[in-house]
C-alpha cells in the first residue's frame, strides 16, 4: 500500500506536475488519474481529494501551464511598458526562454492540442484558448503603431513575428539545430534584424 505523505497543497501541485509529464508521454486517451497517482507514489484514491475526474486534472494542468507562461510574459510587459520596440524584442526572448527551459510546457500547450488556438476573422486575430497570444498581439500592435505600420498589414505582420518567435522556441527546445553560444543572444540578433519594418 502506498502512503500518502504529501502535505495537502504539495500533493495537488505534484499531481499537476506529474500529470503534465504523463499527458505529454501518453496523450489524452491513455491518461488516467490512477497512473498519475502511481507516479506520485500515492494511493489511487488520493488524487480524488483534489480532482473529481481526469478532465478536471487536465484542466488544472492547462491552467498551471498557461498561468506560469502568462506571468513570465507579463514581467516583461511591465518592465518595458514605455518602450514598444524593446518590449516586443524582450517579450520574444522571454517567450523563447520560457519554452526552451520548460519543454514540457511547450509540448502540452502547442504540440498535443489539435484545436485552433488563434482565430483569424475579418482581418482580426484573437485567441480564447491561448490568452498568452493576446499579450503578444497587444505588444506587437503597440510596436506597429509606434513605427506607423499600415493597419492593413497588422495581421500578417503579427503572424510573421509570432511564427518567428515560436519557431525559434520550438527548434531550440527540441534541438532541431545546435548552437553552442548564448541562444538568447542569437534570438535577440534575429529579432532585431527582422524588426526593421
Confidence class for position 173, pLDDT limits 50, 70, 90: very high
Burial class of 21 by CB neighbour count within 10 A (0 to 12, 13 to 18, 19+) = middle
For residue 8, pLDDT over 60 is answered with no
Q: What is the pLDDT of residue 9?
A: 61
Q: Above pLDDT 90, what percent of the chain? A: 75
Q: Could you tell me which residue, 49 or 5, shows the higher pLDDT? A: 49
Reference 127, options 150, 109, 142, 144; nearest CA is 109
User: What value does the mean pLDDT of the chain take?
Assistant: 89
Q: What is the pLDDT of residue 34?
A: 95
Gap between the Cα atoms of 197 and 194, Å rounded: 8
As a whole number, mean pLDDT of residues 86-91 equals 96
The residue written with cell numbers 482580426 in the block is 124
CATH 1.10.357.10 location in the chain: 65-194
Q: What is the pLDDT of residue 7?
A: 54
Q: What is the pLDDT of residue 122?
A: 66
Q: Does domain 65-194 sit in CATH 1.10.357.10?
A: yes
Instruction: Specify the pTM.
Output: 0.86
For residue 188, pLDDT over 80 is answered with yes
Confidence class for position 94, pLDDT limits 50, 70, 90: very high
Region of 117 (left: φ > 0; alpha: ψ -120 to 50; beta: rest) is alpha
**CATH code matching the domain that covers 8-52, chosen among 1.10.3470, 1.20.120, 3.30.70, 1.10.10:** 1.10.10
As a whole number, mean pLDDT of residues 106-121 equals 74
As a whole number, mean pLDDT of residues 18-40 equals 94
Confidence class for position 118, pLDDT limits 50, 70, 90: confident
Q: What is the pLDDT of residue 165?
A: 95
CATH 1.10.10 location in the chain: 8-52
For residue 157, pLDDT over 70 is answered with yes
Query: pLDDT tens digit string along 120-152?
Result: 776 677 676 677 888 999 999 999 999 999 999
Confidence class for position 167, pLDDT limits 50, 70, 90: very high
Q: Could you tell me which residue, 195 or 16, shows the higher pLDDT? A: 16
Gap between the Cα atoms of 154 and 156, Å rounded: 6
Q: Note whether 133 and 118 are within 8 A (CB).
A: yes
Amino acid at each position: 500500500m502506498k502512503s500518502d505523505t504529501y502535505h495537502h497543497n504539495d500533493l495537488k501541485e505534484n499531481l499537476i506536475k506529474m500529470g503534465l509529464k504523463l499527458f505529454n508521454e501518453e496523450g489524452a486517451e491513455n491518461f488516467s488519474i490512477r497512473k498519475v497517482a502511481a507516479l506520485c507514489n500515492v494511493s489511487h484514491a488520493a488524487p480524488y481529494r483534489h480532482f473529481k475526474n481526469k478532465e478536471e486534472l487536465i484542466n488544472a494542468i492547462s491552467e498551471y501551464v498557461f498561468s506560469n507562461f502568462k506571468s513570465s510574459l507579463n514581467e516583461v510587459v511591465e518592465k518595458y511598458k514605455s518602450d514598444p520596440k524593446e518590449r516586443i524584442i524582450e517579450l520574444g526572448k522571454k517567450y523563447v526562454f520560457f519554452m526552451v527551459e520548460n519543454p514540457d510546457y511547450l509540448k502540452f500547450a502547442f504540440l498535443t492540442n489539435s484545436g485552433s488556438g488563434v482565430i483569424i476573422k475579418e482581418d482580426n486575430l484573437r485567441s480564447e484558448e491561448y490568452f498568452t497570444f493576446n499579450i503578444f498581439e497587444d505588444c506587437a500592435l503597440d510596436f506597429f503603431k509606434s513605427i506607423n505600420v499600415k493597419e492593413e498589414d497588422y495581421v500578417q505582420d503579427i503572424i510573421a513575428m509570432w511564427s518567428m518567435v515560436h519557431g525559434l522556441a520550438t527548434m531550440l527546445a527540441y534541438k532541431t539545430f545546435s548552437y553552442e553560444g548564448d541562444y538568447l543572444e542569437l534570438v535577440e540578433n534575429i529579432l532585431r534584424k527582422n524588426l526593421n519594418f
